[in-house]
């Protein structure tokens, strides 16, 4: 299926459905035209008018973005409380329904060490008798 190039208007066979330019140079030249570049002694350069317009757009965007940069402390507090509530709820459910899946605490480890030491003492007494 042949198409007309959007820049040079010549017929070409696109490699994909969304191709609108016949070659990379037509794509580049169309971009230069769209962005108001002009040819100046061996290279393309943005015209002065477009530079002024671009600076005005950037300043307008930065004003809009500066309003978005404000941190809302209420949303941070609500997020932290929600996270804490979810963690507490999941811990409580695990403690009730699957206590073996909860990680060991320091107290659990100390109690285990105490039991092991008692077993060692009992074994020593049995071997002595």
Q: End-to-end CA distance of the chain, in Å?
A: 99
CB 118 within 8 A of CB 125: no
Judge whether residue 127 has pLDDT over 70: yes
Euclidean distance between CA atoms 55 and 67, whole angstroms:
19
The pLDDT value recorded for residue 108 is 87
Show the CA angle centred on residue 16, arms to residues 10 and 22, nearest 5°: 20
Judge whether residue 102 has pLDDT over 90: no
**pLDDT tens digits, one per residue of 8-56:** 999 999 999 999 999 999 999 999 888 888 877 777 777 766 556 666 7
Q: What is the DSSP letter of 104?
A: P
Q: Which of 53, 32, 54 is nearest to 43 (CA)?
A: 32
Euclidean distance between CA atoms 3 and 11, whole angstroms:
5
- Compare 53 and 91 and report the one with higher pLDDT: 91
Euclidean distance between CA atoms 19 and 16, whole angstroms:
6
Euclidean distance between CA atoms 32 and 26, whole angstroms:
10
**pLDDT tens digits, one per residue of 48-83:** 665 566 667 766 665 555 555 567 788 888 889 999
pTM score: 0.37
Phi, psi (deg, nearest 5) at residue 88: -65, -45
């Amino acid at each position: 299926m042949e198409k007309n190039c959007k820049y040079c208007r010549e017929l070409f066979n696109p490699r994909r459905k969304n191709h609108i330019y016949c070659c990379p140079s037509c794509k580049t030249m169309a971009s230069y035209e769209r962005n108001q570049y002009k040819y100046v002694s061996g290279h393309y350069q943005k015209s002065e008018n477009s530079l002024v317009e671009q600076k005005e757009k950037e300043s307008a965007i930065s004003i809009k973005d500066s309003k978005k940069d404000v941190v809302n402390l209420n949303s941070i507090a609500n997020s932290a409380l929600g996270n804490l509530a979810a963690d507490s709820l999941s811990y409580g459910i695990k403690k009730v329904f699957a206590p073996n899946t909860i990680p060991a605490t320091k107290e659990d480890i100390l109690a285990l060490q105490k039991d092991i030491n008692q077993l060692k003492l009992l074994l020593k007494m049995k071997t002595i008798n």
